[in-house]
Amino acid sequence: MQGVDKIIVVGHSLGSSLATLVAFDSIESGYAKSVQLLTYASPYTGDKTFVKAFESRILDSVRVVNKHDVVPKVPPPLFGYRHIWNKLEVNSYDNAGIKKSIACYHSLLTYLHMLDEAVPLSGKCSVEL
């Protein structure tokens, strides 16, 4: 199999767990020489052994987490799950323009809006001021 020089993998929610696995597999299999990973609202993806292996091979990753989003807190670490590194925490609760709801804390548009206010919110998560 002929590899590529670099891939960029992005995912949200369950897709971010899958993106993490794809990033790792791309390096492990030799498909990519370099991988960048950006995840939003990722649940725990692996155990301590996986995280250690991931962090030794993927040096360019960012895991964006909304402080009040429940998805990044499952499944409970009690079962041995761990997060990969480079967490960037945002807090939509402090943004008066975003509804305070479980769905809105987890919405990709909320995450994107928190990083760049030029990204419009969907009607269901914006507060009419």
User: How high is the pLDDT of residue 1?
Assistant: 55
CA distances from 82 to 25, 74, 78 (A): 18, 10, 9
User: How high is the pLDDT of residue 86?
Assistant: 94
Catalytic residue among 12, 13, 107, 113: 13
pLDDT 10s digits, 47-61: 999 999 999 999 999
- High-pLDDT (> 90) share of the chain, %: 88
User: How far apart, in whole angstroms, are the C-alpha atoms of residue 76 and residue 13?
Assistant: 15
- Domain annotation for the chain: domains and CATH numbers: 4-91 (3.40.50)
pLDDT 10s digits, 16-26: 999 999 999 99
User: How high is the pLDDT of residue 128?
Assistant: 67
- Is 83 one of the annotated active-site residues of the chain? no
Catalytic residue among 12, 83, 106, 113: 106
In the chain, which stretches have pLDDT less than 70? 1, 128-129
Catalytic residue among 69, 83, 92, 113: 69
Which of left, alpha, beta for 13 (phi over 0: left; psi -120 to 50: alpha)? left
